[in-house]
Amino acid sequence: MIDAITGGAVDGAFQPVSSALGLATATFLVPVPHRTSVRVLLYPDVTRRDRPERIAVLAGAGQVARGWEAHTASAARIELPDRRISDGYVAALRSISAACAGGFPVPFGRESDWRVADEAAVMRALASVGLRELVAPILRQRCDELELDSWFRREPASIERNLAVFDAVAAYWNATHDHALVDDVLGVVVKAAHWVERARARQGARIAAPTARAASRSLAVLASALRSCGQPDAADDLQSFAARFVLDLDRDIDVEDKPEVDVDVDAERAADATARPMAIETPRGFDTMATMRAACTDLTDGDVFAFERIEWILRAGGATSRWPTYVHPRLLTGSAGAGDDPSVSAAFVALARALVVDDSRPGVLRLLPSVPPTWYGQSLDVHDLPTSAGSLSFALRWHGARPALLWELTTRADEAPIDVTITAPGLDQAWSTDAHQGEALLATPHAGEPVTLVEHPDADHVPMTTLEPRIRREQALDRPVVSGELADAPLVEPGDSFG
């Protein structure tokens, strides 16, 4: 480069450079005059013997951006008060979409430890936010190749490996109720389930409690899917397999295990937040995916320490919201694994979803399981989020210091409405409803915390620091509204709808 700048550039062919260790590099200096641009086309998976054909017409930057928007247009929309989380969610979806191209090859840097569970976690995250078009072909391809060199053959047979596949198929069914895909993978899933049952019966050591619970939950969902697709015998088999995992767990729990768990939980909750590690540390660096999963667990438990972890996660993702597998403890740069790991991006998608809904409990939808005080007074919107009970949309507005919740749960067209209880424990633990659509004025959250109203902008995102207080229509002072009661007057301005 120095030679080129000082006038020593060489015209014609480049002198060949090689390295037995793969360390050969090249730098290209291209002059770009005013009002001109340069487009560079990279072929990342091409070997040195390949001669790829040159593409005659390259898409412009605007076309590329619109293309990625189209890829993820069917995903649920999550707009949170913290713009960084919403932007990170969109960036993670687009990163995963790129990784899924070409049948989802193993990510560069993860060749030695990319597992079935990693790919299944990506499929599960995409299905949980409505990207069925990306998930269905890969699930079909993997299950069609069962007898070949595919998902099930990528690593030694184990209960955990097959359970990862069950989780992905079950998550897809919960989000879509796609009978066609279940019919296509029926034979493979049932065979794998019978293998798991035989392995469970032969297991000499006790199966870990989390694995047993996950197995029971996934097999029960698959049983429901098979029954819905007209396969009652196969469904009964899977339901009995699910019950046996739970029976084994109940029988094997020792008395001495219980105090140990109780002590751990009490110590965790009693500890000062500053003394708790925000990130999960390993010898290779901070584990980003494990940290995101820990934050999801905190959210489900109603522990606001999740937001301390999220703050660290956002810093580690940087301005581009790209997360490596492991992060250097001091530099917050990649220290091992893939530089842009799709399984970590999937974990962030799952984290963004966990911030707005928890549907892990049968018959219950917990909206906003944990809300930090910094979100008080700020609007929030969720559109077309798949859940086990249907497609969920809801919005949060504020009337003075009290949150106003609007929600709509749409049942699938070919199914009867599902009985479900909707709660919002992060805002008002006393409120609940069985209505699939409505609006409610909740109690003031945490009376000791101040609530400052902020404007709900027309733009999708406005930095929180630029928002000014806004006066909204208040409920009549002569008519008190109790927590959970539907307000008579409209709680939204014209245009504030799910459309």
Is residue 23 over pLDDT 70? no
Average of pLDDT values for 116-120?
A: 89
77 within some domain: no
Give the strand order in the sheet containing 357-358.
Answer: 357-358, 364-367, 421-424, 428-433
Average of pLDDT values for 130-157?
A: 74
Are 242 and 373 members of one domain?
no
Which residues lie across from 438 on neighbouring strands? 407
368 within some domain: yes
Q: Which residues, at least 6 apart from 300, have a Cβ–Cβ distance to it below 8 Å?
A: 354, 358, 360, 369
Q: Which residues, at least 6 apart from 338, have a Cβ–Cβ distance to it below 8 Å?
A: 107, 108, 109, 110, 324, 325
What integer best gives the mean pLDDT of the chain? 79
Domain's final residue, options 199, 230, 253:
253
409 within some domain: yes
Number of separate domains in the chain: 2
Domain's final residue, options 212, 235, 253:
253
- Among 48-62, 105-119, 256-270, 379-393, the range with the most confident prediction by mean pLDDT is 379-393
Is residue 174 over pLDDT 90? no
- Cα separation, 111 vs 493, in Å, equals 53
* pLDDT (tens digit per residue) in 291-300: 999 999 999 9
First to last CA, the chain: 54
Is residue 443 over pLDDT 90? yes
pLDDT band at 158 (very low <50, low <70, confident <90, very high): confident
Q: Which residues, at least 6 apart from 270, have a Cβ–Cβ distance to it below 8 Å?
A: none
Q: Model-level pTM?
A: 0.78
Q: Give pLDDT, residue 250.
A: 61
173 within some domain: yes
20 alpha carbon, distance to own chain's centre? 41
- Percent of the chain surpassing pLDDT 90: 35
219 within some domain: yes
Q: Give pLDDT, residue 420.
A: 93
Domain membership of residue 396 as a residue range: 359-466
Is residue 478 over pLDDT 80? no
Q: Which residue has the higher pLDDT, 423 or 499?
A: 423
Average of pLDDT values for 249-270?
A: 46
316 within some domain: no
Is residue 368 over pLDDT 50? yes
142 within some domain: yes
Domain's final residue, options 224, 253, 282:
253
Is residue 460 over pLDDT 60? no
Are 242 and 112 members of one domain?
yes
pLDDT band at 282 (very low <50, low <70, confident <90, very high): very high
Q: Give pLDDT, residue 482.
A: 37
* pLDDT (tens digit per residue) in 77-93: 999 999 999 999 999 99
> Residue 294's CB: how many other CB atoms inside 10 A?
19
Inter-CA distances, 24 with 20, 27, 452, Å: 9, 11, 57
Q: Which residues, at least 6 apart from 14, have a Cβ–Cβ distance to it below 8 Å?
A: 26
Helix then strand then coil, % of the chain, to nearest 5 = 40, 10, 45
- Cα separation, 340 vs 428, in Å, equals 38
Q: Give pLDDT, residue 153.
A: 57
pLDDT band at 497 (very low <50, low <70, confident <90, very high): very low
pLDDT band at 200 (very low <50, low <70, confident <90, very high): confident
Q: Give pLDDT, residue 464.
A: 31
- Among 417-421, 423-427, 462-466, the range with the most confident prediction by mean pLDDT is 423-427
Is residue 126 over pLDDT 90? yes
Inter-CA distances, 45 with 118, 142, 340, 473, Å: 21, 21, 16, 58
Are 114 and 231 members of one domain?
yes
Is residue 256 over pLDDT 80? no
261 within some domain: no
